[in-house]
Amino acid sequence: MILVTGGAGFIGSNFVLDWLAQHDEPVINLDKLTYAGNLSNLESIQQDGRHTFVHGDIGDRSLVSSLLEKHKIRAIVHFAAESHVDRSILGPGEFITTNVNGTFSLLEAARAYWSALPDKEKADFRFLHVSTDEVYGSLGPNDAPFSETTPYAPNSPYSASKAAADHLVRAYHHTYGLPTLTTNCSNNYGPYHFPEKLIPLMIANALGGKPLPIYGDGQNVRDWLYVGDHCAAIRRVLESGTTGETYNIGGWNEKTNLEVVHTLCDILDQLAPKTGSYRDQITYVKDRPGHDRRYAIDARKVERELGWKPAETFDTGIRKTVQWYLDHQEWVRGVLSGDYLKWVEKNYGQREQGVAA
């Protein structure tokens, strides 16, 4: 079996669904079910005997150790993390607790379990840590994309906490020999994305007739990766990646935030037309502190060594994503309540509104 941490979150749940569609190997899914963890993401496999959900914390070492031992886990795929930059600015403590201390605790449990395995199982064991391109900092407009050798320069509490986790994973390989793998991905998008991030927030607000808030001038650049492509890359790295190595996973799709929102509005104008254009709802809000200007991923290593490259272009992936949200309005309504509404008001309600574009 494999153990997936954070498997009820956005990328984690997509990975679990993708894994069970591709493999018969069972999954133990450990998730604390914080605000972004949503069991309805996994509703389609609720009766699937290959999937076992465990409500728990990666920081609970005794729980993790018992799961590893009981289920004879042969690989850990570690998604569990606090992941939203804005939340890390307002409350960095939870990011240190989960991303740094939680990863440390998970590594300790994995090391103890792995050390006691028979030689063959020990050689086959893997600890795959899923990280982010944000650990590398910000790029200028003409800088080369991030590679696996780009120096770390995190600029937010979120990216600093992920950088710390990356360093711990690296250290456990080099010090103890734990067979680790690290992936650093660009911005994911797709089904089951919690609507505090740019793309799902814009879709939800557009359909709800609300403003579409864009930070600053909207010219911040991100590389966009369809979540299904990311899941395929992780499966490939887990299968054949070289232990101790890092693999950057990107979509080769650099877009400004404004370009992304314009694309979303234009697709919605086609698929869910209303009077006027959804572009009319665009507003500009005060930029967030320390907002990185540009991210870009050089994903040639994973293609060269493991034969992976994204199957989706931004145009095909974003259209699939918009259609999914239109087809799953009940899921969206279930998420748009309680803490989420309070968070949106806290984060955007206090920002200065600019002139609509």
Average pLDDT over residues 259-268: 98
- Please give the average per-residue pLDDT across 275-284, as a whole number: 97
Length of the chain: 357
What's the pLDDT score for residue 357?
28
Check if the beta carbon of residue 69 is closer than 8 Å to that of residue 110: no
pLDDT in tens, 147-200: 999 999 999 999 999 999 999 999 999 999 999 999 999 999 999 998 888 999
Residue 77 to residue 186: CA distance in whole angstroms: 18
Average the pLDDT over 256-283 and give the result: 98
> Residue 194's pLDDT is what?
87
Beta strands 221-226 and 254-256, pairing class: antiparallel
CA–CA distances in Å: residue 60 to residues 103, 244, 274, 313, 345: 11, 25, 50, 40, 33
Percent residues over pLDDT 90 in the chain? 87
d(CA 137, CA 40) in angstroms, rounded, equals 34
Query: Taking 60 as the threshold, does the pLDDT of residue 288 lie above it?
Result: yes
Q: How confident is the model at residue 333 (pLDDT cuts 50, 70, 90)?
A: confident
Mean pLDDT in residue range 266-276: 97
From residue 245, alpha-carbon distances to 120, 232, 302 in Å are 21, 18, 11
Q: How confident is the model at residue 347 (pLDDT cuts 50, 70, 90)?
A: low
Hey, where are the domains in the chain? 2-190+226-250+294-312
Measured between alpha carbons, how far is 311 from 8 in angstroms, rounded to an integer? 24
**Do 216 and 291 contact (CB within 8 A), yes or no?**
yes
**Mean of the pLDDT values across residues 14-32?**
96
215 beta partners: 285
pLDDT recorded at residue 84: 84
Q: Quick one: tokens of 224?
A: 């966009």
Question: Does pLDDT of 262 surpass 70?
Answer: yes
Query: What's the rounded Cα separation, in Å, for the pair 135 and 160?
Result: 7
Q: How far apart are CA 25 and CA 2, in angstroms?
A: 8
Closest to 335 (Cα-Cα) out of 204, 210, 214: 204
Q: Give, in words, the CATH class of 2-190+226-250+294-312.
A: alpha beta
Residue 210 exposed, middle or buried by CB count within 10 Å (0-12, 13-18, 19+): middle
pLDDT: which is higher, 352 or 78 = 78
Q: Buried b / exposed e across 72-84, counting CB within 10 Å, b at 16+?
A: ebebbbbbbbbbb
Return the active site residues.
Answer: 133-134, 158
Question: Using one digit for the tens of pLDDT, what is the confidence trace for 39-67?
Answer: 889 999 999 999 999 999 999 999 999 99
Concatenate the DSSP letters of all residues of 41-54 into one string: GGGGGTT-TTEEEE
Residue 106 confidence (pLDDT): 98
- The amino acid at 300: R
Q: What is the pLDDT of residues 220-246, one digit of tens each?
A: 999 999 999 999 999 999 999 999 999
Q: For residue 341, what pLDDT is reported?
A: 44
**Is the per-residue pLDDT at 207 higher than 60?**
yes
The average confidence (pLDDT) of the chain is: 93
Q: Are 135 and 157 in contact (CB under 8 A)?
A: no
Q: What is the C-alpha to C-alpha distance for residues 345 and 188, in angstroms, rounded to an integer?
A: 24
Residues 6+ apart with CB under 8 A from 216: 284, 286, 287, 291
